[in-house]
C-alpha cells in the first residue's frame, strides 16, 4: 500500500512539475520566433525597408502605373494582400507595408501604437517614395487607419476602397476584440497562441472553405514574434472608434466598399452605414455571398477584379447612378 501511495505521489509531483515547466516555457517566450528568422522566411524579392521617424518599416513596392497604397488588418501583414497585389500590379504600382510590430517591421521605441501614428506612416512612406497622390485601400483595423487618412488628407487620395473595415461604433456584444473563453484560457493565450488557435480563429473568419495551410502558418509565425505581445496589447488599448460619422463625412474620394455577407467579425450592414455617412463622396457598396472577413484572401481574383474595375473607371456610370439615387433620397 505504501508503495502505491509513493508511486501516486511521485506521479503527482511529475505532473505538477511538468505543468509548471510548460507554463514557464510559454510565459518566458519559449515558442517565440525572432524577427530575423521571420524576415528570412517571409521576405520577398521586392521587400524593402525604410526608417520612418525611428521605426524600421517593411514595405513591398511592385508594378508600374498609378500608385496604390494598401493597409492590412490586425494580426496580419502586407503579405495578406499577396493574391490581390499579384493581379493589381499588372495595371498599377502597388505598395503595401507592415505597421510597426506587425509583419516584418520593427518596434517603435516611442510606443506610438495607435491609429494617428499609423496615418503618419502613410504620409511618410508616400513622401519617401515621392508619391504626391495615390489610390488607398484599407481593410479591418487598417480600414480605420485608411478612412481617417482619407478624411484628413483629401488632396492625397484619388480613389478609395474599404474592405470589411473596422471603425464603427461598438457595444460589448459587437466588439470583435471582446474577451472570449474562461479567464485562465485568456491568460494563457496572452502568452502563447498555438497553431491550432490560429487555425480555429481563421476558420471562423474565412467562411468559403478551410483556410490554407500557408495562411495559417504565416499568422501563427507572425503572431508569435519575440517582443510582439505588449505592443499589440498597447494598440488594442489605444484603439477607439471615436466619431466615425464625422470622419467619413469629410471623405471626398470616390469610394468602393466591399464586404463579405458571411462576415462574423463586422456585420455586412455596417457597409451601408459607411456609405450613408459618406455624404461628400460618391460611393458604391458590393457584398460577396459566402465570403467572410478576409475576402481578398479567400477569393483574391474576385476582389482584385472589382478593385481594378473601380480604379480604372469601369464602374463610373453605376457610381453616378448610385450617387443620384442617394441625393434624391435625401431631398
Is residue 124 very low, low, confident or very high in pLDDT (cuts 50, 70, 90)?
Answer: very high
pLDDT of residue 328: 60
All three cell numbers of 119, joined, read 496615418
pLDDT digits (tens, 9 = 90+) for 18-66: 444 343 344 433 489 999 999 999 999 999 999 999 999 999 999 999 9
> What is the reported pLDDT for 321?
87
Percentage of the chain exceeding pLDDT 90: 76
pLDDT band at residue 300, thresholds of 50, 70 and 90? very high
State yes or no: pLDDT of 287 exceeds 90: yes
- Residues 6 or more apart whose Cβ sits within 8 Å of residue 77: 42, 98, 102, 103, 104, 218, 222
pLDDT number for residue 173: 55
Q: What pLDDT, on the 0 to 100 scale, is given for residue 169?
A: 85
pLDDT attached to residue 193? 84
Beta strands 55-62 and 157-165 are unpaired
Phi, psi (deg, nearest 5) at residue 241? -80, -30
Return the percentage of the chain with pLDDT > 70, whole number.
Answer: 82
Assign residue 45 a region (left: φ > 0; alpha: ψ between -120 and 50; beta: otherwise).
alpha
pLDDT at residue number 21:
36
Question: pLDDT tens, 67-115?
Answer: 999 999 999 999 999 999 999 999 999 999 999 999 999 999 999 999 9
CA dist 157 and 135 (Å) reads: 6
Taking residues 195-220, report their average pLDDT: 94
- Collect all residues with Cβ–Cβ distance below 8 Å to 155 and sequence separation of at least 6: 133
Split at pLDDT 50, 70, 90, the class of 184 is very low
Quick: pLDDT tens for 135-156: 999 999 999 999 999 999 999 9
Q: How confident is the model at residue 265 (pLDDT cuts 50, 70, 90)?
A: confident
Sorted by sequence, the CB contacts under 8 Å of residue 188 that are 6+ apart come out as 23, 26
14 pLDDT higher than 60? no
- Distance, in Å, from the CA atom of 71 to the CA atom of 137, rounded to the nearest integer, reads 6
**Stretch 158-169: mean pLDDT, rounded?**
96
pLDDT at 182: 57
Mean pLDDT rounded to a whole number for the chain = 88
> Dihedral through CA 106, CA 108, CA 109, CA 113, nearest 10?
-150
Say what the pLDDT of residue 27 is.
41
Spatial CA neighbour of 287 closest among 302, 301, 297, 277: 302
Our CA dihedral for 99, 103, 107, 112, rounded to 10 degrees, sits at 20
Whether 133 contacts 157, CB under 8 Å: yes
Least confident range of 138-147, 189-198, 272-281: 189-198
Q: How confident is the model at residue 187 (pLDDT cuts 50, 70, 90)?
A: very low
- Residues 246-262 have a mean pLDDT of 97
Average pLDDT over every residue of 307-329:
85
Amino acid at each position: 500500500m505504501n508503495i502505491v501511495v509513493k508511486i501516486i505521489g511521485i506521479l503527482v509531483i511529475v505532473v505538477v512539475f511538468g505543468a509548471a515547466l510548460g507554463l514557464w516555457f510559454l510565459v518566458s517566450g519559449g515558442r517565440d520566433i525572432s524577427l530575423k528568422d521571420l524576415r528570412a522566411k517571409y521576405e520577398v524579392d521586392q521587400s524593402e525597408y525604410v526608417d520612418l521617424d525611428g521605426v524600421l518599416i517593411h514595405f513591398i513596392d511592385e508594378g508600374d502605373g498609378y500608385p496604390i497604397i494598401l493597409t492590412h488588418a490586425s494580426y496580419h501583414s502586407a503579405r495578406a494582400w499577396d493574391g490581390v497585389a499579384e493581379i493589381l500590379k499588372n495595371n498599377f504600382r502597388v505598395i503595401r507595408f507592415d505597421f510597426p510590430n506587425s509583419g516584418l517591421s520593427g518596434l517603435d521605441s516611442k510606443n506610438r501604437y495607435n491609429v494617428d501614428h499609423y496615418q503618419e506612416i502613410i504620409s511618410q512612406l508616400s513622401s519617401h517614395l515621392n508619391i504626391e497622390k495615390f489610390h488607398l485601400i484599407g481593410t479591418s483595423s487598417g480600414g480605420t487607419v485608411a478612412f481617417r487618412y482619407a478624411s484628413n488628407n483629401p488632396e492625397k487620395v484619388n480613389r478609395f476602397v474599404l474592405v470589411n473595415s473596422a471603425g464603427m461604433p461598438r457595444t460589448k456584444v459587437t466588439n470583435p476584440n471582446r474577451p472570449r473563453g474562461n479567464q485562465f484560457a485568456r491568460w494563457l493565450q496572452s502568452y502563447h497562441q498555438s497553431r491550432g488557435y490560429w487555425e480555429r480563429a481563421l476558420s471562423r473568419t474565412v467562411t468559403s472553405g478551410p483556410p490554407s495551410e500557408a495562411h495559417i502558418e504565416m499568422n501563427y509565425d507572425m503572431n508569435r514574434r519575440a517582443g510582439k505581445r505588449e505592443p499589440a496589447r498597447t494598440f488594442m488599448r489605444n484603439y477607439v472608434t471615436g466619431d466615425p460619422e464625422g470622419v467619413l463625412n469629410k471623405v471626398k474620394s470616390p469610394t468602393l466598399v466591399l464586404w463579405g455577407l458571411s462576415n462574423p467579425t463586422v456585420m455586412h450592414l455596417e457597409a451601408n452605414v459607411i456609405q450613408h455617412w459618406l455624404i461628400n463622396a460618391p460611393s458604391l457598396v458590393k457584398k460577396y455571398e459566402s465570403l467572410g472577413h478576409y475576402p481578398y484572401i479567400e477569393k483574391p481574383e474576385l476582389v482584385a477584379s472589382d478593385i481594378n474595375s473601380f480604379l480604372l473607371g469601369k464602374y463610373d456610370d453605376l457610381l453616378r447612378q448610385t450617387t443620384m439615387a442617394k441625393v434624391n433620397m435625401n431631398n
